[in-house]
């Protein structure tokens, strides 16, 4: 039993075979998928994600404005996101939100204020958050400390590729850390050291598909069934059976997102 805690399967990459992709996940033992809706909040991207979650009882939904799209976020976007969350109980998290100073698709000051605003909105709704952070470790931790410390919910640093120092800060703040297929890549020794360090009670696994397919599927389109390879890699690092790693991360997922049964 495995949970893919972060996937993007509502997008056009899966339009021709979404049904088969979901079936293959179930056949591989991936019982639950958290599908994350991203894109311009004024487009129909969030509705599309919510729709997919409503149609499948093994798919939960998260929606939020990605740092890439921060320039599109405003009061209307916040209102719309809140409405969708209130009307749909299968939306279990606000995200992905955060800072991406690698691509800088939105200006940094805009990313920062939009990150702060979405943290506030998520705490108002008492929802956990999904954090995307790249080349902005200090700013991410500072913002969480100043704007999210009073929230009753925590969240996850998804597709973790940061330093050991960032992992320690995130863990100290009570956040989960989720590893994707990157942890299986040949040159990812530093990241594997982080995965070995993260306590199993704060560990999650994900695909972040359609990107970042794990070894041995590297280079292909990624899909939720492949999360088993992430589990295999981390189970070996932690010296536990893959089934046990699957069960632990599935229980963690339920604890963080407390999805309705
Ligand atoms: Zn991300
Ligand atoms: Zn993502």
Average pLDDT, the chain: 96
**Cα separations in angstroms, 3 against 101, 115, 156:** 29, 27, 14
Decide if 154 contacts 173 (C-beta within 8 A).
yes
- Distance from the alpha carbon of residue 217 to the mean position of ligand 2, in angstroms: 18
pTM here is 0.97
- Distance from the alpha carbon of residue 27 to the mean position of ligand 2, in angstroms: 23
Residues with CB under 5 A from ligand 2 (ion): 208
- Distance from the alpha carbon of residue 97 to the mean position of ligand 2, in angstroms: 10
Taking residues 33-42, what's their average pLDDT? 97
% of the chain residues with pLDDT over 90:
97
- Distance from the alpha carbon of residue 85 to the mean position of ligand 2, in angstroms: 19
Side-chain-side CA neighbours of residue 168 (13 Å):
4
* Predicted pLDDT at 95: 96
Decide if 194 contacts 168 (C-beta within 8 A).
no
* Predicted pLDDT at 259: 58
- Distance from the alpha carbon of residue 87 to the mean position of ligand 2, in angstroms: 23
pLDDT digits (tens, 9 = 90+) for 77-94: 999 999 999 999 999 999
**Cα separations in angstroms, 92 against 63, 87, 122, 149, 248:** 9, 12, 11, 20, 19
Ligand nearest to the CA of 97: 1
For residue 260, pLDDT over 60 is answered with no
Taking residues 21-41, what's their average pLDDT? 98
* Predicted pLDDT at 258: 77
Give the Cα separation of 21 and 224 in Å (integer): 8
* Predicted pLDDT at 261: 47
% of the chain residues with pLDDT over 70:
99
Work out the end-to-end distance of the chain between its first and last CA atoms, rounded to an integer number of angstroms: 16
For residue 243, pLDDT over 70 is answered with yes
């Amino acid at each position: 039993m495995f949970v893919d805690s972060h996937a993007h399967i509502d997008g056009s990459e899966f339009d021709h075979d979404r049904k088969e992709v979901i079936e293959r996940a179930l056949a591989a033992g991936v019982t639950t998928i958290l599908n994350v809706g991203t894109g311009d909040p004024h487009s129909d991207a969030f509705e599309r994600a919510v729709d997919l979650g409503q149609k499948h009882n093994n798919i939960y939904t998260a929606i939020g404005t990605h740092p890439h799209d921060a320039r599109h976020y405003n009061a209307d976007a916040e209102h719309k996101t809140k409405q969708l969350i209130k009307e749909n109980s299968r939306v279990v998290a606000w995200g992905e939100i955060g800072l991406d100073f690698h691509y800088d698709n939105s200006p940094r000051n805009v990313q920062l204020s939009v990150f702060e605003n979405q943290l506030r909105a998520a705490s108002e709704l008492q929802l956990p958050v999904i954090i995307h952070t790249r080349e902005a470790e200090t700013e991410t931790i500072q913002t969480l400390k100043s704007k999210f410390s009073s929230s009753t919910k925590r969240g996850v640093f998804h597709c973790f590729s940061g330093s050991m120092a960032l992992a320690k800060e995130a863990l100290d703040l009570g956040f989960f850390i989720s590893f994707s297929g990157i942890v299986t890549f040949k040159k990812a020794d530093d990241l594997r050291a982080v995965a070995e360090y993260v306590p199993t009670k704060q560990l999650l696994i994900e695909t972040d598909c359609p990107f970042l397919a794990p070894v041995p599927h590297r280079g292909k389109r990624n899909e939720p069934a492949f999360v088993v390879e992430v589990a295999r890699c981390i189970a070996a690092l932690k010296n536990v059976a893959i089934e046990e790693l699957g069960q632990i991360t599935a229980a963690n997922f339920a604890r963080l997102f407390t999805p309705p049964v």
